Amino acid sequence: MSPATVVRKWLDDRFDWDGLLAPFRKKTVPLHRLSYWYFLGGITLFLFVIQVLTGILLLLYYRPGPNEAFESVQYIMTQVKFGWLIRSIHSWSANLMVFTAFAHMFSVFFLKAYRRPRELTWLSGMVLLFLVLGFGFSGYLLPWNTLAFFATKVGTEITGQVPLIGKAMMIFLRGGDEVTGATLTRFFGFHVAVLPGLATLLVMLHVLLVQRLGISVPPKVEAEWIANPNLRREMKFFPNFALREAIAWYIALGVLGALAAVFPWDLGVKADPFISAPAGIKPEWYFLFMFQTLKIIPPRVFRIIDGEVLGVLAFGAAGAIWVLLPFMERSARSRKWVSAIGIFALVFIIGMTIYGYIAK
Partner 1 sequence: MSRFGATVLQHLSSSRASSLHNREPGQKSISFTGAASVMSDQGIQPGVPGAAPVQRRRFVEVLLGSGFMATAVAFIYPVLRYLIPPRTIDVGSDSVVAARVGELKPNSGKIFHFGSRPGLLVLTAEGEYRAMSATCTHLSCIVQYRGDLREIWCACHNGVYDLNGRNVSGPPPRPLESFDVQVRGEEIFVRRRREA
Partner 2 sequence: MRAVLRSSWLLLAGCLLLSGGLARAQANAQTTAQPKDQCLECHSILPDNLGVTEEKFSQDIHSQKGLTCASCHGGDATSDDAEKSMSRKAGFKGHIDRKQIPALCGSCHSNPDYMRKYKPGLRTDQLSQYHTSVHGKRLAAGDTKVAVCTDCHSVHDLRPPSDARSTVYAANVAKTCSRCHSDAARMKDYKIPTSQFADYSKSVHYEALTARGDLSAPNCATCHGNHGATPPGASSVVNVCSTCHVFQAQLFDESPHKQPFTSAGLPGCVTCHNNHKIQHPTDAFIGTGDEAVCTQCHVQGDAGFAAAGKIKSDLTHLAQSVDQADQILTQAEQSGMEVSGAKGDLVQTKDALTKARVSIHSFRVERVEADIKPGLAGAEKDFRAGQEALKERNFRRMGLGLSLIAIAIVVAGLLLYLRKIESGSKPTAASLS
Note whether 220 and 34 are within 8 A (CB): no
SS3 label, residue 145: strand
From partner 1, partner 2, none, interface partner of 258 (C-beta below 5 to 8 A by class): partner 2
10, 15, 20, 25: which one binds partner 1 (CB under 8 A)? 25
SS3 label, residue 234: strand
Phi-psi region of 65 (alpha: psi -120 to 50; beta: other; left: phi over 0): left
Spatial distance between the Cα atoms of 291 and 320, rounded to a whole number of angstroms = 18
Query: Based on CB atoms, which residue is closest to partner 2, 164 or 262?
Result: 262
Rg (C-alpha) for the chain, rounded Å, is 23
Q: Which amino acid is at 249?
A: W
Strands 28-30 and 234-236: antiparallel
Cis peptide before 229 (omega within 30 of 0): no
3-state helix, strand, coil split of the chain in percent (to 5) is: 75, 5, 25
DSSP secondary structure code for residue 36 in this structure: G
From partner 2, partner 1, none, interface partner of 336 (C-beta below 5 to 8 A by class): none
Query: Does 127 participate in binding partner 2 (rule CB under 8 A)?
Result: no
Rounded least distance, CB 40 to partner 1, Å? 15
Query: Does 67 participate in binding partner 1 (rule CB under 8 A)?
Result: yes
Rounded least distance, CB 73 to partner 2, Å? 10
Binding mask 158-197 for partner 1 (x = CB under 8 A): ----------------------------------------
Residues 60-79 that bind partner 2 (CB under 8 A): 77-79
Which of 122, 114, 96, 92 lies closest to 44, judged by CA? 96
Query: Does 217 participate in binding partner 1 (rule CB under 8 A)?
Result: no
From partner 2, partner 1, none, interface partner of 67 (C-beta below 5 to 8 A by class): partner 1
Spatial distance between the Cα atoms of 253 and 265, rounded to a whole number of angstroms = 17
Cβ partners under 8 Å of residue 173, min gap 6: 156, 159, 183, 186
235, 301, 314, 346: which one binds partner 1 (CB under 8 A)? 235
Query: Based on CB atoms, which residue is closest to partner 2, 32 or 244?
Result: 244
Return residues touching partner 2 (CB under 8 A). Answer: 77-79, 84-85, 88, 239-240, 243-244, 246-247, 250-251, 253-254, 257-258, 260-262, 264-267
Residues that bind partner 1 (CB under 8 A): 2, 4, 8, 25, 28, 31, 35-36, 57, 60-61, 63, 67-68, 71-72, 75, 79-83, 85-86, 232-236, 238-240, 242-244, 250, 253
